[in-house]
């Protein structure tokens, strides 16, 4: 990663999602008592995901120039704000921003199936399978960033994403990184080089997308 620039695009394999895992997220535990119609819908959602998802990740690495109580300032001039940053990224020397997506075809398929009156579970199961797949892509992305860090005498630290709350070890409260910061994260990327856009309300399109940052700190051997 980042051999020739601070930007990297990576194509990922479409994750294999177990139909039973989809069913478990909806409370189904015993396969033997699940109706055939529900089992078939779960199996079909996996097939649809496999044929429509094209996972891709966009990554940008930036050096941190300054830490303050609630702000991280980057050498490129961009800064992020959250009361939890000092706790989570105090030792970080670099930030890796990422945007992951399964592609627009998955979104289109979910929307299309949701209009089928004879497939009430189709869209629900496909959407659930898609979020599970994104988690696996994120895990793969973290592994690649971790490998890059190790090769450069660093260690990967915490991950955070705009719009989510995280527990503070200091005051035991949950602190939100405001969703509006998504616009700052996206500003690190050339919009002509990525296939994900951001609406005025900070919703990512395609919907089946994830974003966030990882911290990288020096490794002491």
Domains of the chain: 7-218 (3.40.109.40)
Residue 213 forms beta bridges with which residues?
A: 97, 160
- Cβ neighbourhood burial of 102 (10 Å; 0-12, 13-18, 19+): buried
- Entry pTM: 0.94
pLDDT per position as a tens digit, 18-66: 999 999 998 888 888 889 999 999 999 999 999 999 999 999 999 999 9
With pLDDT > 90 as the criterion, what percentage of the chain qualifies? 85
Question: Is residue 123 pLDDT above 70, yes or no?
Answer: yes
Residue range 131-156: average pLDDT?
97
pLDDT computed for residue 172 by the predictor: 85
pLDDT per position as a tens digit, 182-204: 999 999 999 999 999 999 999 99
**SS3 call for 49:** helix
Residue range 63-88: average pLDDT?
94
Question: Is residue 75 pLDDT above 70, yes or no?
Answer: yes
Residue 220 forms beta bridges with which residues?
A: none
Containing 25, the helix (H) or strand (E) segment is: helix 19-25
């Amino acid at each position: 990663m980042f051999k020739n620039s601070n930007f990297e695009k990576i194509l990922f394999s479409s994750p294999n999602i177990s139909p039973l895992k989809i069913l478990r997220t909806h409370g189904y535990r015993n396969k033997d008592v699940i109706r055939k119609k529900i089992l078939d819908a779960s199996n079909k959602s996996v097939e649809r995901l496999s044929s429509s998802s094209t996972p891709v990740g966009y990554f940008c690495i930036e050096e941190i120039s300054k830490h303050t109580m609630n702000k991280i300032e980057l050498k490129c001039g961009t800064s992020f704000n959250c009361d939890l940053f000092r706790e989570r990224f105090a030792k970080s020397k670099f930030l890796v921003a990422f945007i992951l997506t399964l592609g627009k075809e998955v979104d289109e398929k979910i929307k299309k199936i949701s209009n089928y009156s004879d497939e009430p579970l189709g869209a629900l199961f496909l959407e659930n399978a898609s979020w599970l797949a994104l988690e696996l892509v994120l895990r793969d992305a973290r592994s690649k960033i971790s490998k890059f860090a190790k090769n450069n005498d660093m260690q990967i630290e915490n991950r955070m994403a705009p719009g989510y709350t995280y527990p503070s070890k200091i005051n035991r409260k949950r602190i939100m990184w405001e969703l509006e910061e998504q616009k700052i994260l996206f500003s690190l990327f050339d919009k002509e080089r990525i296939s994900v856009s951001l609406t005025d309300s900070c919703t990512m399109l395609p919907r089946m997308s994830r974003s966030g940052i990882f911290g990288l700190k020096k490794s002491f051997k």
